[in-house]
């Protein structure tokens, strides 16, 4: 429960309580019945070794803190030393961390540590591609709730490591009013339904919570602005339509574009001046980064 | 802890005890502080609706059982009815399941259920691509331990749904003797080190456990065969070298090819007659499948 | 894990996954080694009884859903029927729920169910006092993070049942910039430190997240407004000072008053026009409500 | 799971395994998604600070050990040094503990540590009031099972810190025979029902377990004594009636008074000579103690 | 978490919350990665079968409730019908329960259910041997804390099923003062050390808690009696010495004999008139009972 | 979660993540409400002591690593020093480990540590008896799945400590085809049913997984061999029948004998040349070893 990093390392911050649970689950998956190969060769427990985590392709690194925690949980005597920080760019061949200690322990930690690094660096690297595609604009890139079950906390951090910003963490973090929610207020004048819903919601939620309204049409954008939405999700609109939406909004709400935006088209969207673009493409099905562990 | 599926549904099998933990973790991620949008519109709890899970691209479906469990944990009164079974092929537009019940509950279950379906169907579909690429040969496709932390059990099932076969589940399921393990027996004649290691291992492990030996060279293949390895991992070899390896092995061990095999090259590998090809490409960084939930 | 309420009852909503853990912890506290009195009198298991949860003083009820879950976890065959809803006012003597089933099960559930009802109805009732004290104004009453460890989710709901509104749930829900945070930006011009900090924060946080700035002086209020804070916490100010603060803010941010506000003074604060008053007095050390269970 | 207190501190005793779970739950409540304010100002992680826990009103301190555990779980590098011990009296303004380390870690631990200290010191202080009200008599003050769900272990310790003594921890710790239990033995002569029940119970329970019988009338007291009860709960009786009860009991059982006893009336009860007075007023709805953390 | 027994069965009582955790742990041990034999033969899931739990030697049955819970957790559609109750005597060949449902589910539950039944019936049966050996006397048989780690709750119940009575459940249930505890009061007159310790303890513990004092000599027995011990553990004494001890005690405390008492010698001990005999022989290393599951 | 063994000790290997859960469960069983005797004598916390774990009968030791973990979880300041290793033979009277630290902590850890040592050393010692009974032959001794619920991982290790070898860990580790499984393929020619089942299974399982077939008759043995079973379980056969079976098998499969084999008869079985004998007698109902803790 309580990581005791070697003194030369930054203590994990407090949210690591949640991260520890994620790491523990991953380790039990691989090691609940032991490592029968390594455990049957007892010399491995006595042999002290050093091994290098090395990326085999250019990437933005994410998962170093988690990999360190993996090593520590497998064997507190392992000394894990990151050479970079999460969020740093690494060229192919770069050593991003080293680990020292009993070879048996290194072998047991290896795969789980790498699985985190490969996936999270994949998220960070893909995010960086989107961030770079809009460079020079004021548009920020963020994720959606389309994340890998069980890994949202880490994937959200990886998005930050890639230069993106967080979106709402979960269904409790921000109101998101969608068509489906509006259906229930059916006997209300369609021109007023967003206004009624926003008013209903505002009365119940915290003053610290924002309301985001999904708009599929400019008419809905107009309604959402007038209803006092804090954020308007411009869903599946073309860059031109988004320009019209922004001229309707007139900075009275934050505009977020989403839906069908690819690496090819994102710059055109960003150039509309939309504040935020959210995309599932930086968390869902992202290519993983090749990372290996080389024993010296 | 104890799912009570509506009577017209198949009971989850016993390993669902482990799957339940995975689903619960995913739901708590999204819902630990409630769904403030839905919870602030109480009419949603009273409105009975039906919604359809629909795939938006051709795929092999995986995750239906899990999606059903998501719905049930959110609200046991939701009735989830799969239209296909995990492992079935679905064309774009196909309804793969429907769910009926309180609209509030459907909205709360939606994203988590979809996140599982999108990722697992991605794994199953990618697996199918590799399986089809070797069709007509006797070679089987399997995964590696490069899986998403926390989801190995589900990803292994998705590989099966895609027509692949399982590899060892974890470090306790099968011996895998690698270079790193051999290093510790350093003062032994290099020509005998595999034989000595296999003998050491065989004396300690269960008679129900196989020994797989990783071979990088034909000399190692020869040694592994003579040492009595049950499986030989032909690592990073060309198809031609694999053919030579197979002629050395002469069916005295199962041959598994791995390392740098892509969808383009896999058929050439399969045509060597190698029994098994393992690849991380069917679990790591696989493209996800677009699945949506349409409220009727 | 999965509550199966009798069909005539509302399903618990999804956040009950978290609430179930709270209830389970409470039940294990009381029953981990069984109820040796009841278990030693086996006739109690066979006797079917009905019992009435009755409040013994005027109150706002909170905890009925939780009490129902307590009964169900002790014995799924118990039928718990609420007579009111959480948030309803009850006069002394009012039956707020009934439970039917094996007397042994009722006795085992009794104390835990009452402990929740007594505490949570206390929170709701105290909140109502504060809400009524400001009635006729537009000021809303909310809680702080001074809650009972382990019960924040339920206490936040009880505040709503009492007519209050939620504040940020936890340290991840909203930025709150305090003096302590500003200290670290020490070499910055004191007149600009809030502006710099807000800008730093805004660049890192989600567009769905608000920034609240604590201000102890009017100068800080001015700085916070100009820095673009979404919410300004007017800390430990008199009503007159708050009026001045509000005239500085000019609706460019939400104003929240906090610190040293009692039931006696709250109306004077509300009459300043401040949008929100937060107080720990509705969660911390609130008097509990006397609720009993009468066996018929 | 395993706290590693700095060497100059007392190790937590073994029941801390249960307390660790309570603290972990509380920390996850506040920090599961991180502290977005502190985490966005990285200088806070590097700044080393000292802060003082100071009580702002006279009190009996309880919760220091728990507060230390909170600090340690947030960051094992924090050094928490108590200035007093749980159970000590502190005057308003007294520093009761100091904590040193990364300012980010201190800020993350602050609220949770204070929430424990405020509530538990409230319980200890209220207990002390009751204990002092009976000073000079032989009567001891104890709690009931009306405790805050999830916190019974800590509240029971706080009662001890306040000078009280424990009551049965839970339904498995001691037999408590109440009216409701007696109902089931309905066809038995009312004059013998307690005797029959005690005999039934005695045959089944451990010889290490006591039997307490609740008596509402002197007739029941008489029966309970004759039945061999170890403890008789004199429920809702006046001091005069309790005197009569005591003269019936003649030290053949321990007498415990309970029900409707307030700080005003408790001395009159104690002066009857009753051994124990139990009251929910020292755990349920007790005023909390104002404790703050001052950064130096 | 919440068992839903078929309607014709007794609901599990509340302590089943703890028992559910034990059963879940046992099932995950066997089934965390599924049952690869059964899962690979899908016809087994469709085939409805009935199977009979049958004892293959004379025994006292214990574990039926647990076996039912095992079946239910594996598949809630399994119908488990006990033919006897825990605590009943069964002759070799007797069917003690039947289970109906999918053959796959029966096969998955089989081994875990039997492992509980075999061990717990072993405890109950061994207890019965000791109970019968003292039949006709007033001496009761109880267990010690020498139990199987993780199974104390179930083993304690099995002792009851065998006709024994419970001892203290754990270190929090009763004071047990041993030599080791007395050492710390070293500068006290040896003739008074027990008196001092009992007085110290009595001041701190609940009035619902008894004090047991271990005595190795008659002098210690005398001291313990005079100190007011509730129970005196006569440790490793011969029957004759116990007689002397009892004559010293004169019913002022409960006498418990323990230490080196076997089935052969126990009657001689019981005939001394000692109230309780405790032995580890009924929980530690007891022979298991042969129970099988016959598919019809 | 993370053991920090004193530097002079071997780090626990990674599977200790699972073992830690077992130990934590055991400690909470005994200490969830504290040790009221020890906690009420505060001098015990200050007194530094050393104590010796001593076996009181000849045995093979198992559980030392676990006992060390028990001590560490109770109090990380306890220093536990094993004098032997798990698997070593100890003569009666031998000190197998010492522990140093606060006497209170030693007393709290004592019983739980001993309970593990007594049971696990019992398993190791009984295993050794069977192993010695077959000494000089090539037959290996292994366990079955008839293990104590919750302790399989530790009991499997104890079997190794006693000189045995592991069997499949659980239902996911190896296929075991039994009569019950064959029933479902009912319309198949009885002479071919094993062949069909093996073929069906082989197509679905991992190439790393073996298939074991239970055979009750020589005809079944013949079928299993021809079907390509990896292992054949010769169930309840006499040594003579096993000889015949072995001559049928001709080393084409591993032969395992099981069923009704006792310490008296096992040598006759081993002399048949069967590779493996499995027996529940080394895990189920094994006599425990007497181990004590002597305070110096």
CATH of the domain at E18: 3.90.1170.20
pLDDT computed for residue A183 by the predictor: 79
Of B96, B94, B91, nearest in space to B65 by CA: B96
Residue E244 lies in a domain: yes
User: Residues of F with CB below 8 A from B203's CB?
Assistant: 165
Q: What is the CATH number of the domain that holds A260?
A: 3.20.20.70
> Measured between beta carbons, which residues in chain B are less than 8 angstroms from residue F254?
207
pLDDT tops 60 at residue A4: no
| C94 annotated active-site | no
CA distance D281 to E51: 56
**Tokens coding F207:** 């190439």
Provide the pLDDT for residue B9.
34
Q: How confident is the model at residue B11, as a pLDDT? A: 39
Residues of E annotated as part of the active site: 111, 146, 178, 214, 235
CA distance E209 to chain F (A): 10
What percentage of chain D exceeds 70 in pLDDT?
95
B contacts of F168 (beta carbons < 8 Å):
206, 208
Of E34, E114, E181, the CB nearest to F41: E181
C99 touches chain E (CB under 8 A): no
Residue B15 has its nearest CB partner, among E3, E31, E102, at E31
Residue B70 is inside which H or E element, if any?
A: helix B64-74
CB of F255 within 8 Å of a chain D CB? The answer is no
pLDDT at residue E9 in the model: 34
pLDDT tens column, F258-289: 998 999 999 999 999 999 999 999 999 999 99
Split into its structural domains, chain B has a count of: 2
User: What's the pLDDT at B185?
Assistant: 77
Token pair belonging to B15: 């390993």
Q: Kindly state whether residues D237 and D122 are assigned to the same domain.
A: no
Query: D22-60: per-residue pLDDT in tens?
Result: 999 999 999 999 999 999 998 888 899 999 999 999 999
DSSP assignment of F155-174 equals: HHHHHHHTT-B----STTTS
Chain A residues touching residue C160 (CB < 8 angstroms) = 204
What interface predicted TM-score (ipTM) does this complex get?
0.94
Mean pLDDT score of chain F: 92
Name E124's Cβ contacts closer than 8 Å, sequence gap at least 6: E59, E60, E61, E62, E86, E87, E158, E159, E161, E162
Q: Compare D106 and A12 and report the one with higher pLDDT.
A: D106
Question: Same domain for E174 and E93?
Answer: no
Beta strand extents in chain B (DSSP E only): 48-55, 59-60, 79-82, 89-90, 95-102, 140-142, 175-177, 211-215, 231-235, 254-258, 276-278, 291-295
The answer to whether residue F1 is domain-embedded is no
Are D232 and D212 in contact, with CB atoms under 8 Å apart? yes
Interface test with D, best of A2, A73, A171 (most D CBs within 10 A): A2
Q: What are the pLDDT digits (tens) for E95-110?
A: 999 999 999 999 999 9
Please tell me whether residues A13 and A71 are part of one structural domain.
Answer: yes
F47 touches chain E (CB under 8 A): yes
Model confidence at D6: pLDDT above 80:
no
CB contact under 8 A, A18 and D32: yes
Cα separation, B166 vs B144, in Å, equals: 9
Q: For F220-243, what is each residue's pLDDT tens digit?
A: 999 999 999 999 999 999 999 999
Kindly state whether residues E81 and E123 are assigned to the same domain.
yes
Q: Long-range contacts of range F261-268, CB-CB < 8 Å, 24 or more positions apart?
A: F263/F129, F263/F130, F263/F133, F265/F239, F266/F130, F266/F133, F266/F134, F267/F133, F267/F134, F267/F137, F268/F239
State how far residue A188 is from chain F, nearest Cα, in angstroms: 55
Chain B residue with CA closest to E102: the answer is B11
Residue whose C-alpha is closest to residue F171's, from A40, E292, B151, B15: B15
The beta-carbon neighbor of C204 closest among D23, D40, D146 is D40
Cα angle at C158 between C122 and C286, to 5 degrees?
30
Q: Residue E14 pLDDT > 90, yes or no?
A: no
Output the pLDDT for position F42: 84
For chain B, say whether E77 makes contact (Cβ under 8 Å).
yes
Q: Which conformational region is residue D145 in: left (phi greater than 0), alpha (psi within -120 to 50 degrees), or beta? A: alpha
Q: Which residue of C has its CA nearest to A275?
A: C207
Residue F145: predicted pLDDT? 98
Tokens for D101? 């380390």
User: How high is the pLDDT of residue C180?
Assistant: 86
Q: Which comes out higher in pLDDT, residue D5 or D231?
A: D231
Q: Give the lowest-confidence range in C205-214, C242-251, E187-196, E239-248.
A: E187-196
Distance CA E140, CA E275 (A): 6
Say if residue A74 is in the same domain as residue A177: no
Whether F184 and E44 lie within 8 Å, measured CB to CB: yes
Q: What is the pLDDT of residue B296?
A: 82
CB-CB under 8 Å, C45 with E14: no
Q: How far is A74 from F2, CA to CA, in rounded Å?
A: 8
Residue D1 forms part of a structural domain = no
pLDDT in tens, D128-146: 999 999 999 999 999 999 9
CB pairs under 8 A between C and D: 198
E115 and E148 inside one domain: no
Instruction: Decide if A209 and C166 are in contact by the 8 Å CB cutoff.
Output: yes
| Residue A9 pLDDT | 34
Instruction: Yes or no: say if D224 and D253 are a contact pair by the CB < 8 Å rule.
Output: yes
C148 interface with D at CB cutoff 8 Å: yes
| Whole-angstrom distance, CA of residue E81 vs CA of residue E10 | 10
Assign 3-class secondary structure to chain D.
Answer: CCCCCCCCCCCCCCCHHHHHHHHHHHHHHHHCCCCHHHHCCCHHHHCEEEEEEEECCCEECCCHHHHHHHHHHHCCCCEEEECCCCCCEECCCCEEEEEEEEHHHHHHHHHHHHHHHHHHHHHHHHHHHHHHHCCCCCCEEECCCCCCCCCHHHHHHHHHHCCCECCCCCCCCCEEECHHHHHHHCCCCCCCHHHHHHHHHHHHCCCCECEEEEECCHHHHHHHHHHCCCEEEEECCCHHHHHHHHHHHCCCCEEEEECCCCCCCHHHHHCCCCCEEECHHHCCCCCCCCEEEEEC
Chain A residue closest to D36 (CA)? A15
Please tell me which of the candidates F2, F4, F35 has its beta carbon nearest to residue D14. F35
Please tell me which of the candidates E172, E207, E275 has its beta carbon nearest to residue D256.
Answer: E207
Question: What is the chain C residue with the closest CA to D289?
Answer: C285
Give the closest residue to D44 by CA, choosing from A8, C184, A85. C184
Per-position pLDDT tens, chain B of length 296: 233 223 223 334 434 788 999 999 999 999 999 999 999 998 888 899 999 999 999 999 999 999 999 999 999 899 999 999 999 999 999 999 999 999 999 999 999 999 999 999 999 999 999 999 999 999 999 999 999 999 999 999 999 999 999 999 999 999 999 988 988 777 788 889 999 999 999 999 999 999 999 999 999 999 999 999 999 999 999 999 999 999 999 999 999 999 989 999 999 999 999 999 999 999 999 999 999 999 88
The answer to whether A13 contacts D76, with C-beta atoms less than 8 Å apart, is no
* A112 reaches F (C-beta below 8 A): no
Give chain C's length.
296
Q: What is residue C11's predicted lDDT score, i.e. its pLDDT? A: 39
Q: Is the pLDDT of residue D10 over 90?
A: no
**What local confidence, expressed as pLDDT, does residue C5 receive?**
29
Shortest distance between the Cα of C277 and any Cα of chain B, in A, equals 21
Asked if residue E161 lies in contact with residue E86, where contact means CB atoms within 8 angstroms, the answer is yes
pLDDT(C110) > 70:
yes
Q: Are E274 and E255 in contact (CB under 8 A)?
A: yes
Task: Flag whether pLDDT at D5 surpasses 70.
Answer: no
Q: Report yes or no on C1 lying in a domain.
A: no
Question: Whose structure tokens read 């599977």?
Answer: F15
Question: Which pLDDT belongs to residue A120?
Answer: 98
Mean pLDDT of all residues belonging to chain A: 92
Residue A160 structure tokens: 């930050």
* Stretch (H or E) spanning C211: strand C211-215
Same domain, E116 and E177: no
- Nearest Cα of chain E lies from the Cα of F280 at a distance, in angstroms, of 10
Query: Residue E153: its pLDDT value, please?
Result: 95
Q: How far is D222 from chain C (nearest CA, A)?
A: 21
d(CA B123, CA C55): 56
Lowest mean pLDDT among B132-141, C144-153, F81-90, F190-199: F190-199
Distance in Å from the first CA to the final CA of chain B: 31
Q: What subunits touch chain F, counting only 3 or more CB pairs under 8 A? A: A, B, D, E
A104-116 pLDDT, tens digit per residue, is: 999 999 999 999 9
Same domain as C161, residue C275: yes
What share of residues in chain E are helix, strand, coil (percent, to 5)?
Answer: 40, 20, 40
For residue B250, how many other CB atoms are within 10 A of its CB?
8
Per-residue confidence (pLDDT) for residue D180, from 0 to 100? 86
Please name which of B25, C229, C166 lies closest in space to residue A175, comparing C-alpha atoms.
C166
Are F204 and F105 within one domain? no
Tokens at residue E118, please? 């075999």
Task: Please report where in the chains the tokens 């039949």 appear, as a residue.
Answer: E135
Of B34, B42, B37, B54, nearest to B95 by C-alpha is: B54
The per-residue pLDDT of chain E, averaged, comes to 92
Give the whole-angstrom CA distance, residue C13 versus residue C68. 13
Per the domain annotation, does B87 fall within a domain? yes
- Tell me the mean pLDDT in the region D151-156: 96
For residue B210, give the nearest of F203, F204, F208 by CB distance: F208
Closest CA to D72 of D20, D14, D143: D20
User: Residue F22 is encoded by which pair of tokens?
Assistant: 């077992």
Least trusted range by pLDDT, from D95-99, D181-185, E116-120, E130-134: D181-185
For tokens 């390594």, name the residue.
A38
| Paired residues of B90 in beta bridges | B59
Which are the contacts of E277, defined by CB distance < 8 A and separation ≥ 6? Answer: E130, E134, E139, E140, E141, E142, E256, E257, E258, E261, E266, E269, E270
User: A94 and A202 share a domain?
Assistant: no
Q: What is the pLDDT of residues D207-237, one digit of tens each?
A: 999 999 999 999 999 999 999 999 999 999 9
What's the rounded mean pLDDT across residues C25-43? 92
User: Which residue out of E141, E152, E201, E206 would a mutagenesis test of the D interface target, given it has the greatest number of D Cβ atoms within 10 Å?
Assistant: E206
Q: What is the CB neighbour count within 10 angstroms for residue E238? A: 15
* Residue B116 within a domain: yes
Q: Does C14 touch chain D (CB under 8 A)?
A: no
Interface test with D, best of C15, C33, C34, C36 (most D CBs within 10 A): C36
Structural domain span for residue B255: 137-282
Are residues D267 and D150 located together in one domain of the fold? yes
Cα separations in angstroms, A274 against A159, A225, A253: 19, 15, 11
B34 to chain F, closest Cα gap in Å: 29
Active-site residue flag, F214: yes
For residue D3, pLDDT beyond 60: no
Rounded to the nearest angstrom, the minimum Cα separation between D40 and chain F is 28
Structure tokens at D237: 């009786």
- What is the model's pLDDT at position A45? 85
Query: Does D206 reach chain E within 8 Å, measured CB to CB?
Result: yes
Lowest mean pLDDT among D9-18, D83-92, E117-126, E227-236: D9-18
Is residue A243 situated within a structural domain?
yes
pLDDT band at A188 (very low <50, low <70, confident <90, very high): confident
pLDDT, mean of residues D89-99: 98
pLDDT band at D76 (very low <50, low <70, confident <90, very high): confident
Check A231 against C208: CB less than 8 A apart.
yes
Question: For residue B28, which residues of chain C lie inside 8 Å, CB to CB?
Answer: 17-18
Regarding whether F80 and F141 lie in a shared domain, the answer is no
D2 falls within a domain: no
What is the distance between the alpha carbons of residues E236 and E217, in angstroms, rounded to a whole number? 9
pTM for this entry: 0.94
Q: How far apart are CA D237 and CA D248, in angstroms?
A: 14
Give the rounded distance of the alpha carbon of D94 from its chain centre. 23
Q: What is the DSSP letter of E11?
A: P
Give CA–CA dist B132/B126, Å, rounded: 10
């Amino acid at each position: 429960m309580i990581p005791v990093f070697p003194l030369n390392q930054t203590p994990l911050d407090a949210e690591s309580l949640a991260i520890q649970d994620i790491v523990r689950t991953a380790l039990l998956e691989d090691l609940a019945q032991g490592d029968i190969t390594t455990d049957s060769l007892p010399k491995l427990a006595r042999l002290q070794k050093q091994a290098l985590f090395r990326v085999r392709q250019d990437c933005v690194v994410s998962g170093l803190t988690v990999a360190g925690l993996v090593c520590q949980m497998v064997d507190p005597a392992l000394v894990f030393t990151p050479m970079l920080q999460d969020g740093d760019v690494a060229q192919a061949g770069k050593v991003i961390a080293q680990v020292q200690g009993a070879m048996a322990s290194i072998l047991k930690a290896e795969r789980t540590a790498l699985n985190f690094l490969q996936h999270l660096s994949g998220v960070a690297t893909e995010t960086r591609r989107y961030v770079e595609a809009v460079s020079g604009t004021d548009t920020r890139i963020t994720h959606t709730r389309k994340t890998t079950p069980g890994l949202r906390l880490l994937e959200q951090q990886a998005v930050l490591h890639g230069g993106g910003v967080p979106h709402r963490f979960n269904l409790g973090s921000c109101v998101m009013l969608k068509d489906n929610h509006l259906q229930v207020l059916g006997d209300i004048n369609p021109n007023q339904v967003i206004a009624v819903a926003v008013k209903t919601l505002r009365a119940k939620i915290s003053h610290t919570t924002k309301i985001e309204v999904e708009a599929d049409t400019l008419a809905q954008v107009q309604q959402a602005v007038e209803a006092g939405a804090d954020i308007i999700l411009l869903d599946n609109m073309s860059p031109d339509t988004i320009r019209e939406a922004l001229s309707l909004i007139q900075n009275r709400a934050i505009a977020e574009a989403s839906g069908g935006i690819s690496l090819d088209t994102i710059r055109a969207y960003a150039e509309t001046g939309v504040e935020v673009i959210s995309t599932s493409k930086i968390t869902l099905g992202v290519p993983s980064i090749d990372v290996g562990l080389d024993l010296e």
